[in-house]
A and B are shown apart, each in its own frame.
Chain A
Amino acid sequence: MKFSKHPSRVEVFYWFLKKLTIMKLTIALILVFNLNSFAKTYSQTKITLDVHGAELKKVLGMIEKQSDYHFLFSDRRLPADKKVDISANNEEVLKVLNRILTDIGFAYYQLNNRLIVITQAGGGEATIPITGRVISDKGVPLAGASIRIKGTSIGIATDSTGTFSLNVDNSDAVLIISYLGYQSLEVPVSRQPMTITLQTSLSSMDDVVVVGYGQQKKIDLTGSVASLSGDKDLAWKPVGQVSEALQGTVSGVTVTQGSGQPGADQGTIRIRGIGTFNDNDPLVLVDGVQYNINDVDANDIASVSVLKDAAASAIYGIRAANGVILITTKRGSTGKAKISYSDYFGWQKPTRLSDYVGAQEYMKLSNELYENSGSAAIFSDSVINQYNNPGRNKDLYPDNDWIRLILLGSGFQQQHSLSLSGGAENIKYRFSTNYFDQKGLIENMNFQRLTVRLNTDINITKKLTFSADISARLADQTQPQDNGTGSAFFQFGEANIMNPTLVNKYSDGTWGIGRGDGNPIRVQQQGGIYDYKSNLFTGDFRATYEILKGLTLTGLAQVNYTSDYNSLNTVALPYYNFFVTPHTLLNSIGQNTITKEYGGAWFRDFQGLAEYHKEIGDHSFKLLGGLSSLSQRYDSLTGYRLNLTSTSLTQINAYGANGETNTGTANEYDLVSFFGRLNYAYKDKYLFEANLRRDGSSRFFPGQQWGTFPSFSAGWRISSEDFMLNQNLFQDLKVRGSWGELGNDYTLNAITNALTNYPYQSTYVLGSYPFGGTLNPTSALNAVPNNGLTWETTKMTDVGVDMTVLQKHLDVTFDYYIKNTDNILYQLPIPQSVGLNASYQNAFSMQNRGWELSANYHGNAGHDFRYNVGFNLSDVLNKITNMKGADYESTNSNGITQGWETGMPIGAYYGYQVQGIFKTAADVTAHATQPGNVGPGDLIYKDQNKDGTVDNKDWVYLGSNIPRYTYGVNLGASFKGFDLSALLQGVGKVDVNDMIMRGGPTSRDNNFKNFMAGAWTAANPNATYPRLSTGKQNYTSSSFWIQSAAYLRLKSVQIGYTVPAAWLPKGSFTRVRFYVSGQNLFTISKLEKDIDPEAVNDNRYYPQVKTYTFGANVDF
């Protein structure tokens, strides 16, 4: 297979045409669907009436029946004797209402949605008629905006043309005009027709925020919830995964991205630190249903809520201990069909690559390495001197910079996104599709994803609504074959250790064999392909019925099916001896094999919800009760064929049963939950919320399956108190506090890190062993059983302040929290002399304490220049509070020692304190005995306990890899048609052990970085880097390798230009915008320049990438 490296302009144009054709077809389909099915629905906002001498109450009742408006009025105040004459033919309700009420001296104002309050106009004494029109800052009339006379409850709403009329009783009256999403405005009345322009809301104070199983106004929140807008905060970034787009946007949420590999570049999300030894990923719900955050298209996201404290997330019980992310997708709205199309094209480059020495220096350093270690120099001067001759025979004396040679992929990426939305009175729809195509830095290491989503809302009756959302995600990731270590690891791992004297291709085109395991460049171009196809299909169906006024029931059924199909083909690649004519076979690397892996995961969730809302005077109550039944099942099947006679066919049946094997397994999980919530508010000043959830999990032994998780929170809106009425400092001020308990039943195997669905069980694992030339079954007792296993619980206390100041230009939120996790489920290490795997225990306790600050400023300078600055900063201090006496340190296979010690952060670095470098043999003898063959040039380790021997008793705490002071700065600005968005993101304090990156090779089967030429030698006794040596005495955990990985990164930046509407042909586009953007453009960090601070520990993985993109947004 051959891929062109860069799509030509013709290809891009073709792509665009193809997309347009698909778009047209889709629109046609949706229209047909609409017309046929829903032609006969009645209008919700227009009515036809013809009554004479009817009672007002009766007329209002008739309007209620025809429309979906509801009226609130006091029977006592609505006189029965006032008769109404009205005739209207398919007229706007509000217009008709205006006519009825003005005639009889009444007025109305509209509450949220379609609730209308009827009152006497101006207390019956209204005299001055006022008319006006409310428009948005873009000149669009605002229908349904609320007009209220200040100091009274008299009000009215604008009609569909944005106009209103009402009577005021004196000329000093002031009107308060408000509309959701816009800044409220107070204007003195005028006898002339008024034109009132509302500015888009600057403050999030007016926002409605999605919370667990519902919505709340932001000002009413008592828990810690951060919210984001899909368009403003996420979709503009040129990244393939939503988790990446989340980075730097929310205080208390840390996202780290370990790899830039297409399809494997998901960020790791941590909300308020690391709370457990198990899985720390937050629960992600898309429209109320569990999801992988990266399976949703950022362009489909309307809003994101991050539930950070126990009060906000307790309604999700055991699944919420790591925080909850609620994603709400965009839905259709009534009106003409709207089409939006956007795309971009971009190119990726690695952020950082290591600089290695050239061949000549490599040979000198290799000699130094071995001479330092009791062995002889390997390369003679005559060979080294060959490299002084530029015309040398390069078949014999090559000089290659492998890490740069392997970057043969184009790094081209493109995204196309199309949406179509609209609706009639009783049906609304939004269809969207997105195609993402990312070519890697390595040839054939690519990712493609297609997502499709259709969200529909149907009003079956006025009281019964139904929504059906279906979506699909088809992902296809490819990689060149590897040697069992992972393809990116093979490519980058080999390239980072292959030395410059290895040949890529000889002068006649014969491939070099690399380090003996094959040439990664050849593998990219001629090896087999690993193809990972993952398809996700989801259906989300819900019906809501308003059983009584204020009481609704919701039934929800949600089914996801993920189907993974991996096709892994490897081919044997023969290598030949160039130096023999004819070339003889040196070795054939790899085998001709096929592996097919199928995995299918079903996820089913059925929920029932009841909500009740009641206001009694100044008391407002909201009650929610629900139950949920969730089940998961995963099945897998793998087939394998070896010794294929050819590689042209890639299916199993194409070959005989030679060396075939197959494996298969399945596992299940069930969770049953009951939950409830009470919200109480008094005068919107005193807010109280309580949650209770009871969960039963199949992951525990019967008898220990059920856990109960309560939470309580309260808020005080100080700004609504009377004594705050006359101050001008705070437009909103609220203090809140919460306490709650959460659980976790999600256990990870300590060795494989895989989810364990049966942690309490001790099982016999079946295997095999050969006797007499045949495999016989074996079964091994797996672990010491622990029937007492039960829930891991997290208790979190949070206090917070929300304020809006500077005339609503600045929103500030601050939170302080303490999060204690107890009974952490863990395979506590046991002595290996037990001979069995450790069983899960309710082992440890851990604490996270932290604070979060976020501030968002919105401003404008003059009419055209608007800007906003968002800043978030958070800190978290992690410590283990109880290890049940099992404190331990452990050294991993890379020689890095980490500790699990009471009072210290989890996994903190331990090791020797380095005091410098030995300069002479006398220095070595004078110092305490160190492990290994120590000589001049080696690191000096401090003998902490002064016992004359440096050993593990001299280990000290060296630092923690848990990031502190993570921050993000979001900048936005617009001037006329231009707009700018930028995100800076960073970490203030974090330690890394960079021994893998900075440590020297211990054999010449590796490469030397440029700086290693400055390593200690007798001739360079003041060097700061220890001598090169094949021993590991310097490559053990010590303070020498601990460095600060604090950084600041320009994560994303975008500059756009919107073409003025006047330039667009009439009746075609409504908006056209072009933009350029970049990702990871620059980074400030004290680490060596080849170490990426976000992915420090290894250069054997796919590097982070910087991306430059060009794109367009078009609306029809």
Chain B
Amino acid sequence: MKRLPNYIFPIFIILTVSCKKQLDKQPLDQVASTTYWQTQADALQAVNQCYGYLTDIDDDCFLSCATDDSYAWSGWPVDVPAVGNGSATSQQGMFQEHWQHSYQAIAAANNVLDNIGNVPSSALADTLRSRYRAEARFIRAYYYQQLIGYYGAVPLIEHIQTPAQFDVPRTSVDTVAAFVVSELTAIEDSLPLSYDAADQGRVTRGAALALLARIRLYQGDYTDAAAAAQAVMNLGIYSIDQGGFDNLFSGKNPNSPEVIFAGQYLQPTYASGLATWMGGPTLGGWSEVTPTQKLVDDYECTDGQPITTSPLYHPNHPAENRDPRLLMTVMMPDTINVVNGDTINIEAPHSIDGLGQNNASFTGYYYKKYFPNVVNGQYYNNSFNNEILIRYAEVLLTYAEAKIELGQIDQSVYDAINQVRQRTGVGQPAATAVLYPDQASLRTLVRRERHVEFAIEPQRLFDIRRWKIADSVMTGPVYGVLNNFNPSRSDYGQHIQVEVRTFNPGRDYLWAIPQNELLLNKNLTQNPGW
């Protein structure tokens, strides 16, 4: 060891060899964007991504708490009570949440539309390519339809943006709506009427037409709305489900002919937190989305009369003689409510679902509609029922409403309404020209029908806005159940009052553009009053 130790040098050599290669590190569980868009699978997976945003029931069921359907006792997770009772500010999480979510879906669709042309034609057949494009365009159109309903004018973004393009100003509601219409019209022919079993859940031609009917109705374009609804009806592949109104939503009947488009869930790997938000303590939930007295009161009695006029209505036994959809939608006192084998009884002394119990409903009512028929465990994210986004009943009621507004009242209007209210298991008396002879009475009927038929579904917020009825339905005290069973409370003998709502018509017909968004996009303007 007199000379240099030979084993020192290899260390130095190891260190100096090929630094360049050593520093070239690629992600190991993600694909770099530079090597994407080569194969059909690349295109398909990017299209599939667009659908992922549809399964957003956590946000969508909370939407009903911003309407007269429901009351949320907790500000968690998106501050919905403030949106419902008129005390919201532009920083409210809910405004942020729906904005962000919608634009994420739009970007996923734009990503497909910007890049799918890069997949070589040897790898992707033209018919498939155009179907993929149509699927992405539909989902983009769907979210723009939602966005203008929430916020009014919004940035219309049709491509993936570079940083220089980020500060987009708002585009008027009419222009965005026209864009949605033209998109839906353009893709109709590229979409199939139906898919193989393995592709259930994808966008169909029926979905495009039904959404077209919806946006035209919402825009007051009644002629075209009725035509689009008629087109769906003419397809002959959809019908009102006769297998039970409740089964339609609980997950027992995912492929019902009534379902036109739905966000898909899958047991046990692809789940939502629906049961946690809606369920009461017995069902392991937190009772965050609970029905109000207002919703309960809108259901007719079995004679087809509203409770204000029906002799069958008993104020102390409100569950009796009612439109069967009430008991399929709301768990009422005075009745035995069994869900998935558990009995929910708020009247029994010491019931954990009773008034004032922890996690129990503040209104005393619970939703039954949409409660999943399978819940794995109690904790968050264990519900598997699909979220129906468009169904045939909406198409029929859109048809009816458009025709009523046009003054084109004929038998097809009554038929459309009756198909909905006379489904198997509901069987409300038929609406006839005798009972509802004119536009005004039919308008009242179809609006009531939409309310009770679509309880907790996302339509109600938009209906309140386009009918401009918030002054009557979104103001004043919000009541819950009639407490004639719990004398330990100070509201014994009265309806529970959960809150007082205010509505500012100069402001609240549109949500605020999220505060953080205004700070980041200098070209964005706020809605009036916010």
Contact = CB atoms under 8 A, between A and B. Distances in A.
Contact of B27 (A483, A643, A761): A761
Contact of B110 (A769, A835, A890): A835
A300 to B, nearest CB: 26
B376 A659 contact: yes
Contact of A762 (B33, B90, B487): B33
Contact of A484 (B8, B265, B380, B496): B380
Interface stretch (A227-235, A664-672, A1055-1063): A664-672
A557 B11 contact: yes
A761 B45 CA distance: 20
B14 A376 contact: no
B489 interface: yes
A945 to B, nearest CB: 15
A785 B279 CA distance: 43
B176 to A, nearest CB: 13
Given A464-B1, A484-B380, A545-B8, A696 B352 contact: no
Given A375-B497, A773-B266, A781 B356 contact: no
B379 A591 contact: yes
B234 interface: no
Contact of A667 (B27, B31, B90, B268): B27
B75 interface: yes
B328 interface: no
A643 B376 contact: yes
Nearest to B476: A374
Nearest to A513: B352
A779 B31 contact: yes
B223 interface: no
A373 interface: yes
B266 A770 contact: yes
Interface in A568-608: 572, 577-580, 586-591, 606-608
Given A829-B516, A1032-B75, A933 B32 contact: no
A839 B282 CA distance: 45
B359 interface: yes
Contacts of A785: 33
A757 B268 contact: no
Contacts of B52: 767, 769, 778, 780
Contacts of A464: 1, 5
A461 B77 CA distance: 69
A498 to B, nearest CB: 8
B86 interface: yes
Interface size class of A (residues with CB under 8 A): 35 or more
Interface residues of B, number: 124
Interface in B89-113: 89-91, 93, 96, 99-100, 103-108, 110-111
A764 B33 contact: yes
Contacts of A672: 15, 19, 22-23
B436 interface: no
A1082 interface: no
Interface string B175-212: 00000000000000000000111111110000000000
A379 B489 contact: yes
Interface in A99-114: none
Interface in A499-540: 502, 513-517
A361 to B, nearest CB: 17
A1031 interface: yes
- Most chain-B CB neighbours within 10 Å: which of A375, A502, A547, A774? A375
Interface string B17-50: 0011011111111111100100001101110110
B161 to A, nearest CB: 6
B15 A835 contact: no
A367 interface: yes
Contacts of A666: 28-29
A785 B115 CA distance: 15
B220 interface: no
Contact of A380 (B29, B379, B492): B492
Nearest to A592: B377
Contacts of A514: 358
Interface in A48-62: none
A1002 interface: yes
Most buried by B among A378, A578, A587, A832: A832
Contact of B8 (A543, A578, A699): A543
Nearest to B99: A832
B446 to A, nearest CB: 33
A775 interface: yes
A587 B200 contact: no
B366 interface: no
A378 B356 contact: yes
Interface stretch (A625-633, A805-813, A978-986): A625-633
Interface in B391-449: none
Interface string A379-410: 11111000000000000000000000000000
B23 A776 contact: no
A831 interface: yes
Contacts of B27: 667, 757-758, 761, 763
Given A629-B15, A672-B19, A1003-B74, A772 B198 contact: yes
A1031 B496 CA distance: 18
Q: Which of B79, B87, B103, B515 has the most CB of A within 10 A?
A: B87
Given A589-B378, A627-B12, A380 B488 contact: yes
Nearest to A1004: B356
Contacts of A268: none
Interface stretch (B57-65, B162-170, B308-316): B162-170
Contacts of B100: 832
A547 B4 contact: yes
A586 B7 CA distance: 72
Contact of B1 (A378, A460, A775, A835): A460
B16 interface: yes
Contacts of B297: none
Given A764-B30, A772-B196, A1031-B82, A629 B25 contact: no
A702 B490 contact: no
A152 interface: no
B347 interface: no
A833 B99 contact: yes
B175 to A, nearest CB: 16
A359 to B, nearest CB: 13
B510 interface: no
Contacts of A836: 104, 107, 160
A642 B268 contact: yes
A200 interface: no
B49 to A, nearest CB: 4
B505 interface: no
Contact of A586 (B81, B282, B286, B492): B282
Given A587-B352, A891-B515, A774 B499 contact: no
A777 interface: yes
B11 A545 contact: no
Given A763-B32, A1031-B82, A608 B104 contact: no
23 contacts: A374-B497, A376-B497, A379-B489, A382-B488, A513-B281, A547-B4, A579-B350, A586-B281, A587-B352, A590-B377, A642-B377, A661-B269, A672-B15, A757-B25, A758-B30, A771-B201, A780-B49, A782-B30, A830-B163, A835-B107, A835-B157, A933-B87, A1030-B499
Interface of A: 367, 373-383, 460-461, 463-464, 483-484, 502, 513-517, 543, 545, 547, 553, 555-557, 572, 577-580, 586-591, 606-608, 627-629, 631, 642-643, 659, 661, 664-670, 672, 696-699, 702, 705, 757-758, 761-782, 784-785, 829-836, 886, 888-891, 893, 931-933, 951-952, 1002-1003, 1005, 1030-1033, 1036
Interface of B: 1, 4-5, 7-8, 11-12, 14-16, 19-20, 22-33, 36, 41-42, 44-46, 48-49, 51-52, 55, 73-75, 77, 79, 81-82, 85-91, 93, 96, 99-100, 103-108, 110-111, 154-155, 157, 160-163, 166-168, 195-202, 264-266, 268-270, 281-282, 284, 286, 349-350, 352, 356-360, 376-380, 477, 487-492, 494, 496-500, 502, 514-517, 519-521, 524
